Structure 1
Amino acid sequence: MRTIGNKPLAAAADSLPVLAGAALAVSGVGAVLALADLASPLRAPFTLFFLMVAPASAVAAGLRSLEPLGRLVASAAGAVALNLLVAQAMLATHNWSVRGGVAAVAAISALLFLLALVRRPGCPTARRRTS
């Protein structure tokens, strides 16, 4: 009887989609708690998780050509920069609110993610079809 020595690696690779789904659920709950202004002890940590994960995943989607560690560092830095820019813009215009900040970060993250999907390498675009 033969055994495969890399079973733990296969189990770790199989659990990655489960972890991604759990992160999506937690960040979604954080966004809903913040946007609905519900009083909950989980509101602050889940909203903070959303504010870091949503822009980081959107930036990481656009940086597929980088190595994994470089993409992780760049996406984390991009998430912090996006959050700071949204906060600074809202404070400069005297429109600061928690709901507005979460909505702005969600909208910008969605736009970045959609831009990354449109410009995915290997996916035909209008410019590539005409050449």
Structure 2
Amino acid sequence: MQSFTDLTGLDDSTEPGGARSGPGRCRRMPAADSLPVTAGAAAVVAAVGGALALADIASPLRAPFTLFYLIVAPACAVAALLDGLDPLSRAVVATGGALAADLLVAQVMLALHAWSVRGGVAAVAGMSLLLFLLAQARRHRGRASRSRAS
């Protein structure tokens, strides 16, 4: 039978400063390692939100996940276009750009009397995809011109 120390990884031995010592000490995961996990979880939540809205599935998670999708999808596409900014500035500008893109889609669809939730989500997805592809094409073109210059 295993002891409590073996199951939890904690033991009662401490160093003079109060830090744990030995093989049973708690190891914390660095903050940098949690960033990809958080980004992956955000991508999954956004994808589920888009899928719930497009499939018209009734769920209590549909509204918050779809709202998250409507902010994250264009924000990621705008952030891909912003190469020269530091990370905090890029996040702020991308979020503002995402809100502006969502408002532009809603205004155009309302002006054309073509508003629907599914259509709005599809339009935001299409616009985000085009912005992301534009960023990738610009990045590819920059690499090609640098390789020719070398």
TM interval, short-chain normalised = 0.7 to 0.9
SS at match of 1:41: coil
**Superimposed CA distance per residue, residues 37-91 of structure 1 (whole angstroms, 9 cap, x where no aligned partner):** 0000000000000000000011001102101121111101100000000000000
Specify which structure has the higher proportion of helix: 1
CA distance in 2, matches of 1:77, 1:83: 10
Structure 2-normalised TM-score? 0.75
CA distance in 1, matches of 2:36, 2:125: 22
SS at match of 1:124: helix
Structure of higher RCO (CA pairs closer than 8 Å, 6+ residues apart): 1
1:96 maps to 2:115: yes
| Equivalent in the alignment of 1:34 | 53
Q: Which runs of 4 or more aligned residues in structure 1 lie more than 2 Å from their structure 2 counterparts after TM superposition?
A: 121-125, 127-131
Pairwise mapping of residues 1-131 of structure 1 onto structure 2 (< 5 A)? 11-120=30-139, 123-125=142-144
Aligned residue-pair number: 123
* Runs of at least 5 residues in structure 1 that lack an aligned partner in the other structure: 1-6
* Runs of at least 5 residues in structure 2 that lack an aligned partner in the other structure: 1-26
Percent identity of equivalent pairs: 63
Q: What letter is aligned with 1:80?
A: L
CA distance in 2, matches of 1:12, 1:119: 32
| Equivalent in the alignment of 1:4 | none
